Amino acid sequence: MSKTSELKKIKDEVVAIETELARFRIDNKYFPVIGEGSHDASIMFIGEAPGESEAKTGRPFVGRSGQFLNELLEGISIKREDVYITNIVKDRPPKNRDPQASEIEAYAPFLDRQIAIIKPKVIATLGRFSMEYIMNRYGLSFELEPISRIHGKVFDTEVLGEAVKVVPLYHPAVALYNGSTRDLLKEDFKVLKKLI
Ligand code: URA
């Protein structure tokens, strides 16, 4: 099966999933947000869950945090269409609350499959939830520390026998209201640029 058809299959499965978040999506005429970008991307960005703008359009990071993510990418001369952007949880949690452990458990297998299909060389996690999920899932639990200590660091691991670098980053939403986190994120993006 081609990468595109494998990714399409994930989309069909998310559309059909029966969770409370899916019920909330249907009741609000929202879309699930599967992910977008190059299917051959070297870098995959993983956020938390869609916000309202994302659920209304079916596209990841198109609201205010998305605008800042675009700026960060521009700052290192990487085109948004050359990376792949997704989230752990594919349906919007009500009032943008944090995803619950059971929601992460329900949706993370789709993320694992996206990683296996796209085979990025670098996984950049955005925020604490995706940092914790990815580091625990891919053999880096022993390196886990608060994001304030390990943001911008590069961790080497393997996914299905292939070398992958994991770089925890702050979530762009946090940086919107905090100038110093904004500067830290800009610096950390320079680390990404060096890796590709
Ligand atoms: N925040 C996220 O974590 N993901 C999005 O897609 C948008 C905002």
What per-residue confidence (pLDDT) applies to 1? 87
Residues of the chain by 3-state class (helix, strand, coil), percent to 5:
55, 15, 35
Check: CB of residue 159 under 8 Å from CB of residue 166: no
CA of 51 to the centre of ligand 1 (A): 6
151 pLDDT more than 90: yes
pLDDT, tens digit (0-9, with 9 covering 90-100), for 1-35: 899 999 999 999 999 999 999 999 999 999 999 99
* Average pLDDT value for the chain: 97
**Which of these, 169, 162, 170, 115, lies nearest to 137 by C-alpha position?**
115
**Which of these, 49, 46, 37, lies nearest to 7 by C-alpha position?**
37
Q: Is 51 in the pocket of ligand 1 (CB under 6 A)?
A: yes
81 pLDDT more than 90: yes
CA of 36 to the centre of ligand 1 (A): 12
What per-residue confidence (pLDDT) applies to 185? 97
CA of 99 to the centre of ligand 1 (A): 11
Once rounded to an integer, what is the mean pLDDT over residues 173-181? 91
Once rounded to an integer, what is the mean pLDDT over residues 85-98? 97
What per-residue confidence (pLDDT) applies to 161? 96
Percent of the chain with pLDDT over 70: 100
Q: Is 103 in the pocket of ligand 1 (CB under 6 A)?
A: no
What per-residue confidence (pLDDT) applies to 29? 98
What per-residue confidence (pLDDT) applies to 107? 98
Once rounded to an integer, what is the mean pLDDT over residues 90-116? 97
CA of 48 to the centre of ligand 1 (A): 6
Once rounded to an integer, what is the mean pLDDT over residues 106-121? 98
CA of 14 to the centre of ligand 1 (A): 17
Question: Which of 65, 96, 107, 147 to mutate for ligand 1's pocket (most ligand atoms within 8 Å of CB)?
Answer: 65
Q: How confident is the model at residue 49 (pLDDT cuts 50, 70, 90)?
A: very high
What per-residue confidence (pLDDT) applies to 40? 98
Q: Is 54 in the pocket of ligand 1 (CB under 6 A)?
A: yes
47 pLDDT more than 90: yes
User: Residue 72: CA atoms inside 13 Å, Cβ hemisphere, count?
Assistant: 31
Burial class of residue 172 in the structure, from the number of CB atoms within 10 Å of its CB (0-12 exposed, 13-18 middle, 19+ buried)? buried
Q: Is 125 in the pocket of ligand 1 (CB under 6 A)?
A: no
Helix (H, G, I), strand (E, B) or coil at 30: coil
Q: Which CATH superfamily is domain 3-195 in?
A: Uracil-DNA glycosylase-like domain (3.40.470.10)
Task: Give the strand pairing for 155-159 and 84-87.
Answer: unpaired
